[in-house]
Amino acid sequence: MNEPLAERLRPQTLEDYVSQTHLIGENGALTQHIKQGLIPSMILWGPPGTGKTTLANIIATQSGRPFYSLSAINSGVKDVRDIIDKAKQSGGLFTTKNPILFIDEIHRFSKSQQDSLLQAVEKGWITLFGATTENPSFEVIPALLSRCQVYILNAFDKSDLETLLKRAIENDEYLAKKSINLKETNALLRLSGGDARKLLNIFELIVNSESGESIEITDESVLKKIQNNTVRYDKTGEQHYDIISAFIKSIRGSDPNAAVYWLARMIEGGEDVKFIARRLLIAASEDIGNANPTALVIANNTFQAVSVIGNPESRILLSQCATYLACSPKSNAAYTAIGKAQQLVRETGDLSVPIDIRNAPTKLMKELGYGENYQYAHNYENNFANQEFMPDIVKNTKLYDPGNNARENAHREFLKQRWKDKYGY
């Protein structure tokens, strides 16, 4: 049988469609539109194998509309215009049955290709269905995005995937002839990554690799036959930003286990180790800062080391650094301080430097009093002179507020002793 299992089991009606109840369930966002036949142009956004193409086909069939399909990989502006011309001839604006144009991987269309769709969508000559695995906010031009509703399809959960496996065993003409004992499913579910198409393809591969009509499927047998699990990770797309975000937030949240998990996801996906190391450098200062200044030293050494060592050994250094940062005390006081300072600068503009602390490299500047009353701190007790260093209009403004940790509590005590009540430490 040449047709893949995923294709043989593709649902033909909404009743057969598994998952996405938030869209097509009883109170789903799309349910009433479909029932009334008033279908908006839409972008279907979700991971691979979540039923975007299937849903588009079912909606077209149940609404009785002509259905045209293009793939952004091998289609151009001419293909789009040909379909729009056909749509205009079929009635367009004067019928609620205007054709549906489904474009798979619409994020691969260039700006000019997406521009070619605007008038047709605006005039109602076509109802556009775009499918994408990438965030449409980044990949679809604003003019087109504003003319479409965005519906998010979620990765299949465990119960959805188990339902598909059960349906495959019971309903597929080829598999129903075999005696299949699905003893364990964990390996199949984990390898699928929530991708229904991938799950069914792996399942069919396992079944076809067994001789005889009686087949027992266990986690061990699946892992023996499926040696390589390709990690879905787009180094330039949304996955890139989502996973590095999860990585940094795990470190910030003091969870070394989650940190090394997301680190592994990036490494297995082929991420640039120097990119990861750069983000560790930022985290060491932004999220740890003066609570543990050594974190920045370690992060910087890690960056230097991975730049020299490269793969695969860099994973060890990155893991050491990530777990160290996750286990460090945390403070964002330095990060917050510069943010407050920049906001103050934006609000107050280019205030003059107090004359006492200006540089005086020329005779004229000295005659004008530049630096004349500057108090050299080392000439005073405890190396401290109680002098104003801020412009007069913003003096006494506290920007750095030490965090509540051992090191920064020491900073707070030091500042309190020096400045007394000036900054409220």
Which domains are present in the chain? 20-152 (3.40.50.300), 158-225 (1.10.8), 238-326 (1.20.272.10), 333-419 (1.10.3710.10)
Pairing label, strands 179-182, 214-217: parallel
Report the pLDDT value the prediction gives residue 117, as an integer from 0 to 100. 93
Residue-wise pLDDT for 25-78, tens only, equals 888 889 888 888 789 999 999 888 899 999 999 998 888 888 999 988 888 888
Residue-wise pLDDT for 255-280, tens only, equals 999 999 999 999 988 888 999 999 99
> If you average pLDDT over every residue of the chain, what do you get?
88
pLDDT at 287 over 60: yes
% of the chain beyond a pLDDT of 90: 43
CB 118 within 8 A of CB 91: no
Please count the CA atoms within 13 angstroms of the CA of 227 that sit on its side-chain side.
0
% of the chain beyond a pLDDT of 70: 95
Please, which pLDDT band fits residue 238 given cuts at 50, 70 and 90?
Answer: low
CB 171 within 8 A of CB 148: no
Residue-wise pLDDT for 364-416, tens only, equals 878 888 888 888 999 989 899 888 888 888 988 999 999 999 999 999 999 99
Report the pLDDT value the prediction gives residue 90, as an integer from 0 to 100. 67
What are residue 69's DSSP bridge partners? 102
Total residue length of the chain: 425
Number of other CB atoms surrounding residue 237 within 10 Å: 16
pLDDT at 228 over 60: no
Report the pLDDT value the prediction gives residue 359, as an integer from 0 to 100. 87
221-246 mean pLDDT: 70
Which range, 95-99, 225-229, 302-306, is most confident? 302-306
CB 240 within 8 A of CB 265: no
Residue-wise pLDDT for 332-370, tens only, equals 999 999 999 999 998 888 888 888 888 888 888 788 888
Closest residue by Cα to residue 86 from 70, 104, 71, 72: 70
Q: How far is CA 133 from CA 62, 74, 233, 238, 274, in A?
A: 25, 17, 11, 9, 26
pTM of the model: 0.61
Question: In whole angstroms, how large is the CA radius of gyration of the chain?
Answer: 31
Number of other CB atoms surrounding residue 252 within 10 Å: 17
356 burial level (CB within 10 Å; 0-12, 13-18, 19+): middle
| Cα-to-chain-centroid distance, residue 234 | 10
Number of other CB atoms surrounding residue 102 within 10 Å: 24
Report the pLDDT value the prediction gives residue 92, as an integer from 0 to 100. 46
Residue-wise pLDDT for 178-197, tens only, equals 889 999 998 898 888 888 99
Report the pLDDT value the prediction gives residue 93, as an integer from 0 to 100. 44
163-184 mean pLDDT: 90
* Ordered DSSP codes for 323-386: HHHHTS----HHHHHHHHHHHHHHHH-SPPPPGGGS---SHHHHHTTTTTT---GGGSGGG---
Report the pLDDT value the prediction gives residue 194, as an integer from 0 to 100. 84
pLDDT at 207 over 80: yes
Closest residue by Cα to residue 206 from 193, 192, 221, 220: 221
pLDDT at 296 over 90: yes
Report the pLDDT value the prediction gives residue 94, as an integer from 0 to 100. 43
Rounded to whole angstroms, how far apart are CA atoms 334 and 339?
Answer: 9
